[in-house]
Amino acid sequence: MSTPAFPSRLPQVGTTIFTVMSALAVEHGAVNLGQGFPDFGCDPALVEAVNQAMRAGHNQYPPMAGVRSLREVVSAKTGQLYGRRYDVDAEVTITAGATQAILTAILACVHPGDEVIVLDPCYDSYLPNIALAGGVAVHVPLTPHSFRPDIAGIAAAITPRTRLLIINSPHNPSASVWSEADMRALEALLAPTNVLLLSDEVYEHMVYDGEQHQSAARFPLLAERAFVVSSFGKTLHVTGWKIGSVCAPAALTAEFRKVHQFNVFSVNTPMQHGIAAYMASPASYEGLGRFYQAKRDLFREGLAGSRLKLLPSSGSFFQCVDISAVSDLSDADFCQWLTREIGVAAIPLSAFYADGFDQRVVRFCFAKQDETLREALARLRKL
């Protein structure tokens, strides 16, 4: 007997570039600066806070919206940093990571045939999520190499069928950051429309050189139409815990939770209690920008004398480089060659474009131990 055939919901989706490059890195003993996760542990005090929560008996289902103490932490932090304190009961939801939050927000508001504007290059879950909702992705490219938002291009893409715009700052993969002027321009653009906003802010605490993160929550006319997505995994160096949050006005949150309750219902109870206890102190996140800026600076200084052209890295834990002076290969072929021959894995930026646009740029992740970065730099200086 054979398995019955059925049409795929995602016929264009195959093995991700992250899986491919990580496997190649293992095969060739390469330093893996491809996939975006730390190779160091979290604060032991955070692990102990979770252990204490388990020992205290917090091991059964939590409330669907999340443990109240953690929602209180999210609301207080957002109020302190961005000037908007979301209602703990009606406007804050704890999710099984930011990726689930993004899918749930899209499923909650996008109907078949609705248009969703995405800014290329973009995180790889956006397009499959839109497809699963039956939406139509409308692509507006960020400015090549600088990756600045094209507000005029976004304006031209808005039609009566536009339901949602997805933005991401600090940006993965480019490490660019939206400025206050960018957000003000977006606020003015969207004000007369009914377009909703999904603001992916998982790297919110990784902004460098004295700049501030410009959350959608800072801007009243954006906040009133926005799902603001954050990640405890990125903030606390525990990406494998897969816990995030969404802040949104009550009307949007009500629709979000209708979907949330049926695709995950609730999120790991002891981890929520542990994170809530640990993050009661702002010290849990206030030094993160300085921590990662030191790693960024170490990595940039190590590449300064190489033929790899450094592009700006204003936020996130990524560094993009232009490979034009090093190789005539495509960015994808260059990453394969770099892994096999030099022993360092990176990710081609073309993988983040729906059309595979190749501008000869690759992405490294510097969320690694200093010794890991120094070993990678020693190999890269051979180029």
Please tell me the predicted confidence (pLDDT) of residue 265: 95
pLDDT in tens, 139-177: 999 999 899 999 999 999 999 999 999 999 999 999 999
Please tell me the predicted confidence (pLDDT) of residue 35: 84
Mean pLDDT score of the chain: 96
Residues 6+ away with beta carbon under 8 Å from 17:
124, 332, 347, 348, 351
Average pLDDT over residues 115-120: 98
pLDDT in tens, 52-87: 999 999 999 999 999 999 999 999 999 999 999 999
**CATH superfamily ID and name for 17-36+286-380:** Aspartate Aminotransferase, domain 1 (3.90.1150.10)
Check if the beta carbon of residue 177 is closer than 8 Å to that of residue 169. yes
Q: Which CATH class is domain 44-280?
A: alpha beta
Domain range list for the chain: 17-36+286-380, 44-280
Q: Residue 1: pLDDT above 80? A: no
Please tell me the predicted confidence (pLDDT) of residue 118: 98
Please tell me the predicted confidence (pLDDT) of residue 5: 87
DSSP 288-356: HHHHHHHHHHHHHHHHTTSSSEEPP--BTTEEEEE-TTT-SS-HHHHHHHIIIIISEE-EEGGGGSTT-
Q: How confident is the model at residue 377 (pLDDT cuts 50, 70, 90)?
A: very high
Of all residues in the chain, the percent with pLDDT exceeding 70 is 100
Average pLDDT over residues 98-114: 98
Please tell me the predicted confidence (pLDDT) of residue 17: 83
What pTM was estimated for this model as a whole? 0.96
Q: Residue 127: pLDDT above 90? A: yes
What sign does the dihedral 17-140-105-66 (CA atoms) show? positive
Please tell me the predicted confidence (pLDDT) of residue 152: 97
b/e burial code for range 50-62 (CB count within 10 A of at least 16 → b): beebeeeebeeeb
Please tell me the predicted confidence (pLDDT) of residue 237: 97
C-alpha 312/C-alpha 310 separation (Å) is 7
Check if the beta carbon of residue 33 is closer than 8 Å to that of residue 346. yes
Please tell me the predicted confidence (pLDDT) of residue 131: 97
Please tell me the predicted confidence (pLDDT) of residue 20: 87
pLDDT in tens, 187-201: 999 999 999 999 999
Residues 6+ away with beta carbon under 8 Å from 275:
46, 49, 50, 70, 73, 232, 236, 243
Cα 310 from chain centroid (whole Å)? 21
pLDDT in tens, 230-286: 999 999 999 999 999 999 999 999 999 999 999 999 999 999 999 999 999 999 999
Cα-atom radius of gyration of the chain, to the nearest Å? 21
Q: Which range is least confidently modeled, 5-14, 299-308, 339-348, 367-376?
A: 5-14
Please tell me the predicted confidence (pLDDT) of residue 13: 85
b/e burial code for range 250-289 (CB count within 10 A of at least 16 → b): eebbebbbebbeeebebbbbbbbbbbbbbbeeeebbeebb
Residues 6+ away with beta carbon under 8 Å from 115:
135, 136, 137, 138, 159, 161, 162, 163
Please tell me the predicted confidence (pLDDT) of residue 233: 96
Average pLDDT over residues 124-130: 96
b/e burial code for range 110-144 (CB count within 10 A of at least 16 → b): beeebbbbbbbbbbbbbbbbbbebebbbbbbbbee
For 120, list phi and psi in degrees, rounded to 5: -85, 140
To 5 degrees, how large is the angle CA 200–CA 250–CA 196?
45
Place of tokens 């206030």: 286
Residues 6+ away with beta carbon under 8 Å from 246:
92, 93, 95, 101, 104, 105, 227, 228, 229, 230, 253, 256
Q: What is the residue type of 223?
A: A
Inter-CA distances, 178 with 108, 200, 361, Å: 26, 12, 20
Average pLDDT over residues 128-144: 97
Q: Where are the extended beta strands (E) located within the chain?
A: 31-32, 92-95, 115-120, 136-141, 162-168, 196-200, 226-231, 244-247, 309-310, 318-322, 344-345, 347-348, 361-365
Residue 248, helix vs strand vs coil? coil
